[in-house]
Amino acid sequence: GNSVTQMEGPVTLSEEAFLTINCTYTATGYPSLFWYVQYPGEGLQLLLKATKADDKGSNKGFEATYRKETTSFHLEKGSVQVSDSAVYFCALSDRDAGNMLTFGGGTRLMVKP
């Protein structure tokens, strides 16, 4: 079956540091890939997505590239802010699995001033 594996958190960074959150996936078909973000006390919201190999999704300074050869979709940001503190979820949607979203376990990011 499909699965998504993320690095365990929490990840603690100082403001303006570089961020990488690793995500790898296993899928039976050719999935679309997503990053969702959950701010404290809120539901998840879509941060970015990529639907085919070598696509780069980007939003709010975050970016991730769909790497089919390494089955990865790592999230990066060049300079994090305190307001980026949240839980980040990598997810995939696979047509061969009915197009349902499969989520990773989430990675908590804490940014200190």
Partner 1 sequence: NAGVTQTPKFQVLKTGQSMTLQCAQDMNHNSMYWYRQDPGMGLRLIYYSASEGTTDKGEVPNGYNVSRLNKREFSLRLESAAPSQTSVYFCASSADRGWHEQFFGPGTRLTVL
Q: Is 73 exposed, middle or buried (0-12, 13-18, 19+ CB in 10 A)?
A: buried
Torsions phi, psi for 27 (to 5 deg): -145, 145
Name which of 61 and 105 has its Cβ closer to partner 1.
105
4 near partner 1, judged by CB under 8 A: yes
Name which of 28 and 45 has its Cβ closer to partner 1.
45
Name which of 41 and 113 has its Cβ closer to partner 1.
41
Q: From start to end of the chain, where are the E strands?
A: 3-6, 11-14, 19-21, 23-26, 32-38, 44-50, 56-59, 62-65, 75-77, 86-93, 101-103, 107-112
Question: What would the two tokens of residue 73 be?
Answer: 């979709």
Compute the C-alpha angle 9/1/37, nearest 5°: 35
Stretch that binds partner 1, among 14-22, 58-66, 69-77, 90-98 (CB under 8 A): 90-98
Name which of 47 and 80 has its Cβ closer to partner 1.
47
105 near partner 1, judged by CB under 8 A: yes
74 near partner 1, judged by CB under 8 A: no
Residues that bind partner 1 in the complex, under the rule CB under 8 A: 4, 8, 32, 41-46, 49, 51, 89, 91, 93, 95, 98-101, 103-106
